[in-house]
A and B are shown apart, each in its own frame.
Chain A
Amino acid sequence: MNYHISKEPIVIQEVIDKVIERNAGAITTFIGTVREMTKGKKTLFLIYEAYVPMAIKKLEQIGSEIKERWPDAETAITHRVGKLEITDIAVVIAVSTPHRNDAYEANRYAIERIKEIVPIWKKEHWEDGETWVGNQLETVPYPTGKPIEVDSND
């Protein structure tokens, strides 16, 4: 099971072990962690919520998209849900490929797609309140009802 939503802390090595391959010459890991300061605002903790069955399907879809672009890649993704403290791990993505460049590119592709199509939400608990991240300014409307490309710097 390479695609997983976890209520428990993520064990990085377990995600890496899923993509170990005799023909791999590179494994990249992306580890997303909970940041304390965002544009001068202090986060106390986060709550992640997921539409679990669909989130798993969408993670699997990302794996298929990676296979189309990098046929020799193996991908594993685990995303955490529940309450996370500052520095806790929210997501781990491991990608193995025969050569390093593909492993970096495919891993980057995976995190960008997670931010576009996987139904997972983060509630920020700030010092002075709480907000569901994603539309507090309604800057990310979906006029067609389906995902569109988003800014990749968040």
Chain B
Amino acid sequence: MINVLLFAQLKDELGKETISIEGNGMSVAKLKGKMKVEFELEGLETVMTAVNEEFADDDTILSDGDTVAFIPPVSGG
């Protein structure tokens, strides 16, 4: 299973900050597509992704136990 972390507007939209989802061997892009369908989550196309706390491309392949964080445009400072 992949641990997915959601922040800011994505967390508000889904109503929770973590979910566990089947995704071994999937690319980040495919996982985004799956989340869009299963959770009707909008706006995933415009967010950054981190895999295991490091920014990752859409073609990064995921393995069981990975932590994927969807990172909306940041606004710190």
A31 to B43, CA, bound (A): 32
Per-residue contact bits, chain A 107-144, to B (CB 8 Å; 1 contact, 0 not):
00001001111111111000000001111001011101
B47 proximal to A (CB < 8 A): yes
Per-residue contact bits, chain B 39-77, to A (CB 8 Å; 1 contact, 0 not):
000010111111001111110000000000101111111
A91 touches B75 (CB 8 A): no
Q: For residue B58, which residues in chain A have a CB less than 8 angstroms away from its CB?
A: 144-145
Q: Which among A53, A115, A141, A146 is the interface contact of B76 at CB below 8 angstroms?
A: A115
Partner-binding segment picked from A15-23, A44-52, A68-76:
A44-52
Most chain B CB neighbours (cut-off 10 Å) among A49, A142, A147: A142
Q: A49-B7, A132-B8 are in contact. Are A142 and B73 (CB under 8 A)?
A: yes
**How many Å from the CB of B73 to the closest CB on chain A?**
4
A117 to B53, CA, bound (A): 12
A120 touches B57 (CB 8 A): no
Q: For residue A122, which residues in chain B have a CB less than 8 angstroms away from its CB?
A: 75-76
B71 touches A119 (CB 8 A): yes
A147 touches B55 (CB 8 A): yes
**A interface, size bucket:** 35 or more
Most chain B CB neighbours (cut-off 10 Å) among A79, A132, A141, A145: A145
Q: For residue B7, which residues in chain A have a CB less than 8 angstroms away from its CB?
A: 49, 51, 119, 121
A57 proximal to B (CB < 8 A): yes
Q: For residue A145, which residues in chain B have a CB less than 8 angstroms away from its CB?
A: 28, 48-49, 55-58
B53 touches A54 (CB 8 A): yes
Closest A residue to B32 by beta carbon equals A145
By a beta-carbon cutoff of 8 Å, the part of chain A in contact with chain B is: 32, 48-51, 53-55, 57, 79, 90-91, 111, 114-123, 132-135, 138, 140-142, 144-147
What are 15 pairs between A and B in contact, CB < 8 Å? A51-B5, A53-B53, A54-B69, A57-B53, A57-B54, A90-B77, A115-B76, A117-B55, A134-B75, A135-B9, A135-B46, A145-B28, A145-B49, A145-B58, A147-B48
